[in-house]
Amino acid sequence: MNLGYKKFRFEEIKYLDSVKRKLLTKLQKLVGTKTVNFNNYHKFIHNEKKHEKIQWDLAKYFRDKMLHMECLKGIENFLFRNFGQDILVQRKPFLRISRPFKLNDNIGLHKDTIYGQSPYEMSIHIPLTNLGKKSCLMFAGKSYLLKEKKIKFKNQKNLISKGSKQHKLGKPYNNKEIEENIYKEKPVPIKYGEFVFFTPALVHGQVLNKDENNTRFSFDLRVSSKFYPVKFDEKSHNGAYVLYSESPIEKLAKEFLNKQ
């Protein structure tokens, strides 16, 4: 983890497989055909408003069913090793759909700490298909050591409104996209069944999916320890947390204190 990120494999892939099947079934219902899949989605949907509705409905289904909680069972031992057993997970994770050569499908290179995320809130990126060099995310190793006041941002207009559907899907309303080719970002190809564990202080993201044959379907979520120095009660909207697991000691202590 000295680079600020690292790839790992699912310990039990069956949980990710189950989530993938549910999402694909829902996607096929939304599109209206069983011939659509995650890779070829861009060949079926060309209308932007229809795409936005499909992404919103699929993300809502993903969140309402708490499918990310099911998925995390496949890496539970990994989570326990890194956070202990008292774990909080982002209530509303982000389901990403990046079609080939669609600039608006991405938020470019960024650092989540600039948007207010604590370095004690780690991020997990999970793809639903294999992602090659042209379709994967990019990560700038050791960029978490940069002084954020000196980072160079692009001059852009803010096109996303706070509280809008696009904002709730994970696009920032106060966009601070980082200039490319400055911080030595590199593509990190990833296979289905793998995930990237990284600090939110890292420069990462995707500017453009350049794989003409594949849409990128992935999701990312934040994970933290209940006892880390994060003001969880002040988190709202996209940043709110829910309890994933609780240690036996914490349960005993709470039962005792509730009786006093």
Residue 156 maps to which CATH number? Answer: 2.60.120.620
Task: Give yes or no for residue 112 having a pLDDT over 90.
Answer: yes
Which uninterrupted H or E stretch holds 63?
Answer: helix 48-64
Give the pLDDT confidence of 12-24 residue by residue, as tens digits. 999 999 999 999 9
Task: Using alpha carbons, select from 157, 203, 202, 212 the residue that is nearest to residue 180.
Answer: 203
> What's this model's pTM, rounded to 2 decimal places?
0.96
Token digits of residue 218: 């992935």
Which uninterrupted H or E stretch holds 248?
Answer: helix 248-259
Contacts of 111 (CB under 8 A, 6+ apart): 143, 148, 151, 178, 200, 201, 202, 203, 204
Phi then psi for 4, rounded to 5 degrees? 100, -5
Phi then psi for 222, rounded to 5 degrees? -105, 145
Domain ranges, residue 156 = 5-259
**Residue 236 confidence class, pLDDT cut points 50, 70, 90:** confident
Task: Find out whether 101 and 36 touch, Cβ atoms under 8 Å.
Answer: no
Pairwise CA distance, residues 196 & 193, whole Å: 11
- What average pLDDT does the segment 103-107 reach? 95
Give the pLDDT confidence of 182-210 residue by residue, as tens digits. 999 999 999 999 999 999 999 999 999 99
Tally the domains of the chain.
1
DSSP 42: G
Give the pLDDT confidence of 214-223 residue by residue, as tens digits. 999 999 999 9
Give the pLDDT confidence of 137-161 residue by residue, as tens digits. 999 999 999 999 999 999 877 778 8
